[in-house]
Chains A and B, each alone.
Chain A
Amino acid sequence: MSKTYYDPADLRKFGNISDWNKELGDSFFEYYGKVFEEGSLTAREKSLIALAVSHTEQCPYCIDAYTKDGLQRGITKEEMMEAVHVGAAIKSGATLVHGVQMMNKVNKLEM
């Protein structure tokens, strides 16, 4: 075992997932590939969504992959940062909106 949980070199081994279950692995990668194809949303828009979600998931592999993917598509760093802020806003909003629950509970418990 390596001494850290995450090794950047592991990202390029992602495909090996299929080695231990070919059917499910292959299905996943086929699905994954289709999701990112040009559709009602452009591949460029999907790349930015993926980048934002990579951050909310705090997945270092995904951040690595979708930062590079963005650069390859000519997406600017300003656009990438805006996308990350969208993720961050939803994350912090999701925390904060639970404040309503806290308020409800206080109002219920207090005389």
Chain B
Amino acid sequence: MVKKSLLARNNDLANTERQMEILSNGIFANGELPTFAKKIKETNQFPLRPKKLEILQINLGYMCNQVCAHCHVDAGPDRKEIMTQDTMRQCLEVIEKTEAHTLDLTGGAPEMNPHFRWFVEEASKAGIKDFIVRSNLTIIRANKKYHDLPEFFKKYNVHVVSSMPHWTRGKTDKQRGSGVFDKSIKALQELNAVGYGMPNSDLKLDLVYNPSGAYLPGDQMALENDFKKALKEDFQIEFNSLFAITNLPISRFLDYLIASENYEDYMFALVEAYNPTAVQNVMCTNTLSVSWDGWLYDCDFNQMLNLKVNSKVKHISDYNEDLLQNRNIIINQHCYGCTAGAGSSCQGVVA
């Protein structure tokens, strides 16, 4: 079981340049598989360009109470990168003038940022109506100071999106750490108790499913039905939708793919499942990602690969939406993860 981040383990892959090297060499350099750029050129979708900006996704820090085996952020308790209140103020200035209607808060565990609640309150005053918090669930049970999070979420009508790899204890704990399943179940019941995910309630609770291994997610609807049936029967839990998300071959998941000798097969599977229709709606076309230190990226994955936006404006302090919207999105082979099958984004399938 993983206990520390790649960074704390001094793993080679904590170096983003090394990850880029792996993604550009081997089967992609020798022509066995086409590069992503070549693939989207086939359908005249190169260069990839943003559409209307809808979502501002802000990463409040890489600190997390969990160390999930597949984490693309390489998050964990040993990560100290946390957004400061100053950077949050810069984000708030942008929130006041942006076209984006949704604020998507992620991490790490975003709730572990000491200014998390202040930031939600201020963003609410600044006019944000649609909040998403990507909560790992166990944080609610991790410490007394987090026990009232469901009430806090409810107060600001935060849309809670939570990871849940399976409806069984074994598969969940293997991916996310021992004891995670029981704590997640308890947290879901508490969210239900304040009205989250309940029929006829406005409080939205969605679950995120990532495969716990070197395979692609199955049909989102079928998985949602299985999750709903099992969680209801076993634990009387209700939720709204399930988002099936493909694991992208970066960071800890890339490390796992290589160590388990699944890397090549996985890349073949992604390329084989390539769906040009999904390219039209990949999340980088309607989302901007902001890192804990205020840098701007096309998506959270590019953030983790340290691929800043291809624009004169690269930092939240220089934010200019018109300039930013007129950019080419930076792509590489990891992008195949968002275009496989029905596609994958932070909001689930896209095609």
Task: Say yes or no: B268 contacts A72, CB within 8 Å.
Answer: no
- Could you name 18 residue pairs across A and B whose Cβ atoms are closer than 8 Å? A8-B265, A12-B272, A43-B222, A44-B222, A44-B226, A71-B211, A71-B213, A72-B211, A72-B215, A72-B217, A72-B218, A74-B166, A74-B167, A74-B209, A74-B218, A74-B226, A74-B227, A76-B170
B168 within 8 A of A: yes
A12's partner among B166, B211, B223, B268 (CB-CB below 8 A) is: B268
Task: Say yes or no: B215 contacts A71, CB within 8 Å.
Answer: yes
Query: Min CB distance, B192 to chain A, in Å?
Result: 22
Instruction: Report the Cα distance A74→B272, complex, angstroms.
Output: 21
Residues of B with C-beta under 8 A to A44: 222, 226
Residues of B with C-beta under 8 A to A72: 211, 215-218
Instruction: Report the Cα distance A40→B211, complex, angstroms.
Output: 27
A68's partner among B209, B215, B226, B268 (CB-CB below 8 A) is: B215
What is the interface of chain B, defined by CB distance below 8 A to chain A? 166-168, 170-171, 209, 211, 213, 215-219, 222-223, 226-227, 265, 268, 272
Task: Say yes or no: A76 contacts B171, CB within 8 Å.
Answer: yes
A73 within 8 A of B: yes
Residues of A with C-beta under 8 A to B209: 74
Chain A interface residue count, Cβ-Cβ cutoff 8 angstroms = 10
Residues of B with C-beta under 8 A to A74: 166-167, 209, 218, 223, 226-227
A63-89: CB near B (< 8 Å → 1, else 0) gives: 000001001111010000000000000
* Residue of A with least CB distance to B166: A74
Instruction: Report the Cα distance A76→B218, complex, angstroms.
Output: 13
Residues of B with C-beta under 8 A to A73: 218-219, 222-223
Task: Say yes or no: A76 contacts B168, CB within 8 Å.
Answer: yes
What is the interface of chain A, defined by CB distance below 8 A to chain B? 8, 12, 43-44, 68, 71-74, 76
Instruction: Report the Cα distance A71→B166, complex, angstroms.
Output: 11
Instruction: Report the Cα distance A109→B213, complex, angstroms.
Output: 59
Instruction: Report the Cα distance A12→B267, complex, angstroms.
Output: 12
Residues of B with C-beta under 8 A to A12: 268, 272
* Residue of A with least CB distance to B230: A74
Query: Min CB distance, B199 to chain A, in Å?
Result: 24
Instruction: Report the Cα distance A44→B221, complex, angstroms.
Output: 13
* Residue of B with least CB distance to A15: B272
Residues of A with C-beta under 8 A to B215: 68, 71-72
Known A-B contacts: A12-B268, A71-B213. Give 8 more (CB < 8 A): A12-B272, A43-B222, A44-B226, A72-B217, A73-B219, A73-B222, A74-B223, A76-B170
* Residue of A with least CB distance to B271: A12
Instruction: Report the Cα distance A68→B166, complex, angstroms.
Output: 16
Question: Which residue among B166, B171, B217, B218 has the maximum number of chain A CB atoms within 10 Å of its CB?
Answer: B218
Residues of A with C-beta under 8 A to B216: 72
Question: Which residue among B166, B222, B223 has the maximum number of chain A CB atoms within 10 Å of its CB?
Answer: B222
Question: Which residue among B168, B209, B215, B227 has the maximum number of chain A CB atoms within 10 Å of its CB?
Answer: B215
Residues of A with C-beta under 8 A to B218: 72-74
Instruction: Report the Cα distance A12→B223, complex, angstroms.
Output: 25
Instruction: Report the Cα distance A73→B272, complex, angstroms.
Output: 18
Residues of A with C-beta under 8 A to B227: 74
Instruction: Report the Cα distance A79→B199, complex, angstroms.
Output: 31
Instruction: Report the Cα distance A84→B223, complex, angstroms.
Output: 23
Residues of A with C-beta under 8 A to B170: 76
Question: Which residue among A8, A44, A71, A74 has the maximum number of chain B CB atoms within 10 Å of its CB?
Answer: A74
Query: Min CB distance, A80 to chain B, in Å?
Result: 13
Instruction: Report the Cα distance A99→B213, complex, angstroms.
Output: 44
Instruction: Report the Cα distance A44→B219, complex, angstroms.
Output: 11
Query: Min CB distance, B31 to chain A, in Å?
Result: 16
Query: Min CB distance, B226 to chain A, in Å?
Result: 5
Instruction: Report the Cα distance A76→B230, complex, angstroms.
Output: 13
